[in-house]
Structure 1
Amino acid sequence: MSDICRLPRRVLVVDDMLNVGGKECGLLVQLQILKESSISTDLCLLRGEGELVERALEYTSDHLFLNRKKGRFVSVESLFRLRRYIIDKNIQIVHCNGWLDSLVVLIAVWGLRVSLVRTVHGHLKGFKLAIDRFVTSKFDSMIAVSNSFRRDLLRLGYKESNISVIPNTYDPCMKPSSTCIKPPPLRIISVGRLNKAKDQMTLVKAAKVLRSHNTEFVLSLIGTGSPNYIHSITRYLTENCLEPWVRMCGRHMDVATILRKSHLFVFPSTRESFGIALIEAMACGLPVIASRLPSTEEILENGEYGIMFEQGNYRDLANKIIKFALNHQLLEEYCSKSLKRASEYSPGVFRKRLLDVYRTVLT
């Protein structure tokens, strides 16, 4: 009973906007978990935009949209609206998710007795980094999404004493299929925004190598992104006659179903603070191949729970895929390993860690 009493009665979750992305999907799961924990949760968006807004409102008690114009700071009137909202709703904890909304909240709550929590999802540079270091030093707790990212934050000069680590979790709908045995051809999938940082081009180039080895496969790229980057991929596919084997699927709202129908997940990113898409695939029971990064090494325990390839090396990636194509026992082995590792990042584990942080900042 004492643990329940120490939980906040009302939390305000703040972000700029809610477009489809790893951070935003993670925020949806956070809202769902708070609702299931019987914590009244409100949502504040600086811009009040995004494809995920309607879903987010299903899990919230109330909301406030400040209608910030793109490229501008919020108005003085909006700052006072936010301050009045926090007072009137008796908000105990404000949980921010970006550098700009953290700055807005710090100004709005100045002088109020309210606990401030910030989850840091990605790297900042220049003046944004300088502002964020100052702002988060005034927060009661800062959450890094991985141990490797926490080390990055410390190197960047963030205050060590209030940084805790809560790895991101996955949507509870991410569940495995009834069997690891699926009919050929080898169905490979990659999910994420199509841009240089996610480096789907390395995977597409690996597909060309697979064809030269007469490997039977179908590669599906799920996501939207930079028009120029998408054009460079489609042009490469056309020039190398790869269209029958590589599908540009665009955005898909039922990613879990596509994952369950696939054999293998590839995560070719060049920069990640965590990698929600990787954990989602593992929760669906897919063997995974990931580029070697500090965050992916942490999730896969340096290759224990998935295969790793050298970042940007499409030949190395192709060779790793061919190993799976030629060895169905290997697919089954890493299917089991993925499920085992994903259980350590489950929504239940995330819930316990998040509520522990909330209890701490309220004491």
Structure 2
Amino acid sequence: MRIVHLQHPYIPNMGYQENHLPAKQRELGHDVHIITSDVVPDKFDNGNYSFDTGIFEYNGVPVYRNKGYSIEGEAATAIPGAIKKIRDLDPDVIHSHRLVSFLSPISMFSSLGTDAKLFFDLHFDNGNFNLDTKFKRLMYRSFTKFVMPTIENHSDGFIAVNNFSESFLKDNLQVDDSNIHFLPLGSDTDLFYPCEQEREETRERLGVAQDDILLIHSGNINRSKNTKAIIESISGFESITLLILGNIDDEYRAELEEVAGSLDIRSNIIFHEFVEHSQLSRFYNAADIGIWPGKLGITIIEAVACGLPVIIDRSDATKFVVSNGNGFMIDEANVTDIENCLTNYVECGSLLEDHSKNAVQLAKTELSWDVIAEKSIEIYRSG
């Protein structure tokens, strides 16, 4: 089967769906290609990334970077050359990512007059769908009124990566249940798995005693992640250390340090700079609990694969991450809720152990990219 993924953006060496799903499909014996743009997304526009147009290869998958054109920063990006490239590749399946975008009509026009099956996926979660400008509101209204009905008539199915997206497809975009498939985000279980050696070495390097409880909060750290609530919640615990791992701007870090200082727990917090994706498992293995009281991030799923019990925001976008009794859900940024969860773990070591075992089982059976890739092929064939 020849599969073409139309995707913007594509950032190499990350843990996102586009980094792993096409590669795993290729390992299953399929002919897989990715078409993307040369545009750097706003959140990665820090001088570390720039892309040339041309043909590249990542994880064994050919990646075609065409010239992209963006409006209002990176909010809307078109890839005009994608239509010709898709038609030249003559795929059996076109998998179009970011449904509510310029990529959707491009994908549809690419499939017209061909035998290619056409699937669209939706990645909306509890923090990334924001109609916060007039332009975005206008684009969304135009899409739902003029574009979406035509797309549904020409598609072979829609793919939701979480339950929030599933509900959005049904309730907001009026997609029939029978046309919606659930395909969660996952983790690379060859890279992310429990490892006692990594735990001991990394805790020693961080200066954390082996019998202390280490919390980890990782990703692109910004206000949507509600990091401040985590700091406030650990002030009553003597043996808890919080590791904040990832990119964070100076202003927000100073704000968090001020909160920690006012609570006299600055020594209980470790700020650690961003590390390469291949090194993340060391820090997840060093920790005892992962905590994300804000929006969903792929890092949560990777932590689960390392056997971390997790404390996460209560949302349709996140509930699949704790579906095997491997953590707790809390009201967003609710300090009391976080304190209660931590108390349960601190006072009951067997609970921590049970949730850890359940996390590993969930990752292996449902949230491994190997399993997800096989399911994606089943979806393509059934459409």
TM-score, normalized by length of structure 1? 0.81
Correspondence list, 1:254-293, <5 A:
254-269=279-294, 271-272=295-296, 275-293=297-315
CA deviation digits over 1:286-326, x for unaligned, max 9?
1222222233334324x833123332211221232133233
The answer (yes or no) to whether the contact 1:41–1:60 under 8 Å persists in 2 is: no
Q: Give the alignment's Cα RMSD to 1 decimal.
A: 3.1
The answer (yes or no) to whether the contact 2:7–2:18 under 8 Å persists in 1 is: no
CA deviation digits over 1:238-292, x for unaligned, max 9?
44443321122232211111101111111212x44xx533322221111222222
2:192 is aligned to 174
CA deviation digits over 1:331-350, x for unaligned, max 9?
21221121222232222321
Cα distance in 2, alignment partners of residues 164 and 226 from structure 1:
38
The answer (yes or no) to whether the contact 2:310–2:322 under 8 Å persists in 1 is: no
The answer (yes or no) to whether the contact 2:3–2:91 under 8 Å persists in 1 is: yes
The match for 1:237 among 256, 260, 270 is 260
Gaps of 5+ in 1: 1-7
Cα distance in 1, alignment partners of residues 273 and 61 from structure 2:
33
Q: How many percent identity over aligned positions?
A: 17
Cα distance in 1, alignment partners of residues 158 and 123 from structure 2:
11
Letter of the 2:117 counterpart: S
**What secondary structure, in the 3-state scheme, does the structure 2 residue paired with 1:42 have?**
strand
Cα distance in 1, alignment partners of residues 197 and 8 from structure 2:
40
Cα distance in 2, alignment partners of residues 40 and 52 from structure 1:
27
| Alignment CA distance shift 1:338-1:122 (3 Å) | same
1:194 is aligned to 221
Letter of the 1:259 counterpart: Y
Residues 1:87 and 2:87 aligned together? yes
| Alignment CA distance shift 1:162-1:130 (3 Å) | farther
Shift of 1:170: 0.8
Letter of the 2:18 counterpart: L
1:40 is aligned to 31
Cα distance in 1, alignment partners of residues 338 and 7 from structure 2:
36
| Alignment CA distance shift 1:180-1:58 (3 Å) | closer
Correspondence list, 1:150-169, <5 A:
150-160=166-176, 161-169=178-186
Cα distance in 2, alignment partners of residues 293 and 279 from structure 1:
15
Shift of 1:156: 0.8
Q: Which moved more, 1:98-107 or 1:306-315?
A: 98-107
The answer (yes or no) to whether the contact 1:288–1:307 under 8 Å persists in 2 is: yes
| Alignment CA distance shift 1:179-1:152 (3 Å) | farther
Shift of 1:359: 1.3
**What secondary structure, in the 3-state scheme, does the structure 2 residue paired with 1:83 have?**
helix
Residues 1:359 and 2:381 aligned together? yes
Cα distance in 1, alignment partners of residues 50 and 171 from structure 2:
33
**What secondary structure, in the 3-state scheme, does the structure 2 residue paired with 1:197 have?**
helix
Gaps of 5+ in 2: 132-136, 201-209
2:203 is aligned to none
Shift of 1:226: 6.0
Shift of 1:38: 1.5
Q: Which moved more, 1:221-230 or 1:316-325?
A: 221-230
| Alignment CA distance shift 1:158-1:53 (3 Å) | farther
The answer (yes or no) to whether the contact 1:175–1:256 under 8 Å persists in 2 is: yes
Count residues in correspondence: 340
CA deviation digits over 1:97-132, x for unaligned, max 9?
213222333345544443221221115443343455
CA deviation digits over 1:60-115, x for unaligned, max 9?
4433212224427667xx52x32222222222222122132223333455444432
CA deviation digits over 1:192-244, x for unaligned, max 9?
3222332222112213333xxxx212211222256654443233234444332
Correspondence list, 1:91-170, <5 A:
91-98=91-98, 99-100=100-101, 101-122=103-124, 124=129, 125=131, 126-133=137-144, 134-135=147-148, 136-137=151-152, 138-160=154-176, 161-170=178-187
| Alignment CA distance shift 1:84-1:357 (3 Å) | same
Cα distance in 2, alignment partners of residues 15 and 335 from structure 1:
34
Residues 1:218 and 2:241 aligned together? yes
1:4 is aligned to none
CA deviation digits over 1:138-184, x for unaligned, max 9?
33221001234312321113312421111111112111124999722
Cα distance in 2, alignment partners of residues 187 and 315 from structure 1:
19
Shift of 1:354: 0.2
Cα distance in 1, alignment partners of residues 167 and 222 from structure 2:
26
The answer (yes or no) to whether the contact 2:83–2:106 under 8 Å persists in 1 is: no
CA deviation digits over 1:49-69, x for unaligned, max 9?
466989x93234433212224
The answer (yes or no) to whether the contact 2:38–2:51 under 8 Å persists in 1 is: no
The answer (yes or no) to whether the contact 1:103–1:132 under 8 Å persists in 2 is: no
